[in-house]
Structure 1
Amino acid sequence: MTKDQPSPIRPTDDEARLLARTLLTEARFGALAVSLPDQTAPYVSRVATVAIEGAPHLLVSELSLHTKALTTHPDCSLLIGEPEDRGDPLTHPRMTLMARAEIADKASLKETWLEAIPKAKLYYDFTDFVMFRLTITKAHLNGGFGKAFHLEASDFAN
């Protein structure tokens, strides 16, 4: 981008904040990007997610590579937002959350999680499953073609 080209990033407004919160609240899975301790390339995995008290939470197995990565390097990104049945997928809203993961109290969140993802009842109580809370530090919202926004953690507060 040169000084003659306008920035493709729009000023963050209430409409963008509402869309960001809606994507976060409605997401039930996403693509989690982590840094593996012995690799230089990012590692991406599909994970289940539920927003609880404004923060994405992940229920993951300690046997997985992404869980091992989060325990050694808790900085991560989560891409959420799914294209609808019709149209170009790149015209549908999606958002990348930059976050820091920390262990959450899995037992206290069981009812909320199972209400959102009932099939998780099959494995929720497995001892190798842990819950992470992602504290959002920044986000990039693509609200559709030509609608890009940078968001801060404060943009997710109600």
Structure 2
Amino acid sequence: MVKDPFRELDDEAHAVMNGLLESATHAALAVVREDGSPSVTRVAFSVDKGRVPVTLISDLSLHTKALRNGRACSLLIGEPGEKGDPLTHPRLTLHCLPQFVTREDAGYSDLRAWYLERRPKAKLYADFADFNFVRFEVLDGLLNAGFGKAYKIG
């Protein structure tokens, strides 16, 4: 019998996860295209006041079409450090459902202000007609907090 490689989430794991979420300025977004093939891209990243992952993306991007189809997607958060094996550095994978936030939605102005406070360079394009905020409803996830420190989330 194979031993379960996942540990129970503990305070240390929560601290690593929170650190990754708070410090990340971008994430890798994986989507499934209409033809069923996978695609991965880099997106700007933040969390909203409720600590829900959020990005600001253009309708001109191919991944936006996949997100608009309401298909599940995933985010990979965390970057390797400057030294050492990249696989020993913490990273977080979140399996999500995309939720577009329209300008007419309650809370849009608050989300816009919060996001732009955290990502001020986005002010250059945030109000372009083709740009939209997307919140990611987290279904579950995986945290790799370093060698031998794997956790299931949710």
Tell me, yes or no, whether TM beats 0.5.
Answer: yes
Q: 1:48 aligns with which of 44, 48, 69?
A: 44
Could you say which residue in structure 1 is the equivalent of 2:65? 68
1:27 is displaced (CA, Å) by 1.2
| Coordinate RMSD, CA, aligned | 1.3
Unaligned stretches of 5+ residues in structure 1: 153-158
Matched, 1:78 2:53: no
Determine the C-alpha separation between the residues in 2 that align with 1:71 and 1:15: 36
Please report the TM-score for the alignment, with normalisation by the length of structure 1.
Answer: 0.88
Unaligned stretches of 5+ residues in structure 2: 103-107
Q: 2:137 aligns with which of 135, 138, 155?
A: 135
Q: What amino acid is aligned across from residue 15 of structure 1 in structure 2?
A: E
Q: What amino acid is aligned across from residue 71 of structure 1 in structure 2?
A: R
Contact 1:35 1:73 (8 Å CA) reproduced: no
Q: How many residues align?
A: 148
Could you say which residue in structure 1 is the equivalent of 2:105? none
Residues 24-75 of structure 1, C-alpha deviations (whole Å, 9 max, x = no match): 12111000011111x2221111000110111100100011111110011331
Q: What amino acid is aligned across from residue 57 of structure 1 in structure 2?
A: V
Please report the TM-score for the alignment, with normalisation by the length of structure 2.
Answer: 0.90
Determine the C-alpha separation between the residues in 2 that align with 1:126 and 1:107: 15
Could you say which residue in structure 2 is the equivalent of 1:146? 148
Residues 70-115 of structure 1, C-alpha deviations (whole Å, 9 max, x = no match): 0113311000001121221111000100011111254332221112
Q: 1:121 aligns with which of 120, 123, 129?
A: 123
